[in-house]
Amino acid sequence: MTKMRSKYRPFLRQITIAALTTVLLYYAVLFIHQGTIWVFNLGILIELTFVFFFLLAIFWSHSLISKTFTSAATHKLPYFWKPVLEGLTVVVSSIIICYLLYFLPYTIFFSLAGVKLVLLPERVRLAYVISSIASLFFYYFVERQRNIKQLQAEHLRAEQLQKENFRAQLESLKNQVNPHFLFNSLNVLNSLIYVDPDKAAAFLSQLSDVYRALLDNSNKQLVPLQKELNLANSYSYLMKTRFGDSVQINTDVPSDKLSLELPPSSLQMLIENAIKHNGSTKQKPLRICIYTEGDALIVKNNRQPRLEEVKSTKVGLKNIRNRYSYITDRQVTVEQTADAFLVKLPLLKVEA
For residue range 166-222, list pLDDT tens digits in order: 777 666 655 655 556 667 777 888 888 878 888 889 888 888 888 788 778 767 888
- Whether residues 282 and 140 fall in one domain: no
- Whether residues 131 and 205 fall in one domain: no
- Whether residues 11 and 136 fall in one domain: yes
- Whether residues 75 and 184 fall in one domain: no
Total domain count, the chain: 2
Q: What is the pLDDT of residue 169?
A: 67
**Domain boundary pick from 100, 126, 156:** 156
Residue 169: inside a domain, yes or no?
A: no
Distance CA 157, CA 142 (A): 22
Q: With 0-12 CB in 10 A as exposed, 13-18 as middle and 19+ as buried, what is 297?
A: buried
Q: With 0-12 CB in 10 A as exposed, 13-18 as middle and 19+ as buried, what is 258?
A: middle
- Whether residues 187 and 230 fall in one domain: yes
Q: Do 171 and 163 touch, CB atoms closer than 8 A?
A: no
Residue 224: inside a domain, yes or no?
A: yes
User: Which one, of 149, 110, 141, lies nearest residue 21 by Cα?
Assistant: 141
**Domain boundary pick from 95, 126, 156:** 156
- Whether residues 328 and 273 fall in one domain: yes
Residue 220: inside a domain, yes or no?
A: yes
- Whether residues 134 and 186 fall in one domain: no
The Cα angle at residue 284 between residues 283 and 290, in degrees rounded to 5: 130
- Whether residues 16 and 119 fall in one domain: yes
Q: What is the pLDDT of residue 4?
A: 47
Residue 168: inside a domain, yes or no?
A: no
Sign of CA pseudo-dihedral 149, 151, 157, 163: negative
Q: Do 186 and 238 touch, CB atoms closer than 8 A?
A: no
Q: What is the pLDDT of residue 32?
A: 75
Residue 75: inside a domain, yes or no?
A: yes
Q: What is the pLDDT of residue 157?
A: 79
Residue 204: inside a domain, yes or no?
A: yes
pTM for the whole thing?
0.55
Extract the residue ranges of the chain whose pLDDT is less than 50: 1-4
Residue 90: inside a domain, yes or no?
A: yes
Q: Do 261 and 225 touch, CB atoms closer than 8 A?
A: yes
Taking residue 41's Cβ as centre, other Cβ atoms within 10 Å add up to 7
- Whether residues 232 and 338 fall in one domain: yes
Residue 288: inside a domain, yes or no?
A: yes
Domain that holds residue 142: 2-156
Q: What is the pLDDT of residue 2?
A: 47
- Whether residues 93 and 194 fall in one domain: no
- Whether residues 149 and 195 fall in one domain: no
